[in-house]
Structure 1
Amino acid sequence: MKAQSQRQLRAGELVRRALADIIAEGAIHDPAVAGVPVTVTEARMSPDLRHATVFVAAMGQADRVKLAKALDHASGYLQRELARRIDLRFTPKLRFEADDRFEEAAHVDEVLSRPHVKRDLD
C-alpha cells in the first residue's frame, strides 16, 4: 500500500475529528451504536479525496464488526453532517471498517509477557 500524501493525511485527520464529534453527539439511533463508546481511530483518504475508509473501534464488549456495519448503514446521514462541518471541495463517500489493531497489540503484549519469551528477551 502506498504511503498517503500530506494532503491526504490532513484531510483524513479533519474527517476523523469531525466524525468522532458527530458520533459522540449520539444522533445515530441504531442499537449497535447507541450508548457504545466509539473511537474513530483513522480515516484513510483516496488520492482524489472523494472516498474515505474510516476505522472504528468499540470500547468494552461491543461487537466492532456490527458497529462498522451500523455506521456504514448510517453513512448517508454522516456524510450530510460531515458536509456541514468541514471545508473540503468534495464530501468524501464514507466506508467504515472495524479496527482490530487494539486486539493485535494486546495479543503481542500477552505473548511478550510469557515467561519463556521474557527469558529470551532478557
Structure 2
Amino acid sequence: MAETNIDDALWDEFHALANMSSQELRDWLATADAGEQTEAPPDQAGNERSRKVLEVLGKRRADLTDDDVVVMRDVVEAIRQARGDQPEPTAGDDAWRHRLMSLGHDPLKP
C-alpha cells in the first residue's frame, strides 16, 4: 500500500482546529443524536461528515488514506470559515457551537 502524502502544515492545522479528542467527539455525537425515546448506535451517531472526522481523529498519521486527507482539508476549511478571524474561545450561539463541535472543534475549548 502506497503511503499517503500529507504535509506537516495540514496535519498540524487539522489537529489544532479539531481540538476535541476522538472520545470527546464520539460522546458529543452520541449526546447530540440522543432523543427522549431513542439513541443512535455509537457507530451511527452524527452525520456522515462527523463520523469521517471521528475516524480521522482516531488514526495515526501513517494510517491516513487519500480520502482522509480530503476530509481533513474540508474540515479545516469549514472550521476556518465558521470561525472567521475569531481564534479566541467564544460562545456564539448554540447552533453555531454545535455545528463546529460536530466537526471536532469546540469553540469554548482553549
Instruction: Tell me the TM-score normalised to structure 2 length.
Output: 0.31
Instruction: Tell me the TM-score normalised to structure 1 length.
Output: 0.29
Q: Which has the higher contact order (CA 8 A, sep 6+)?
A: 2
Q: Which has the larger radius of gyration?
A: 1
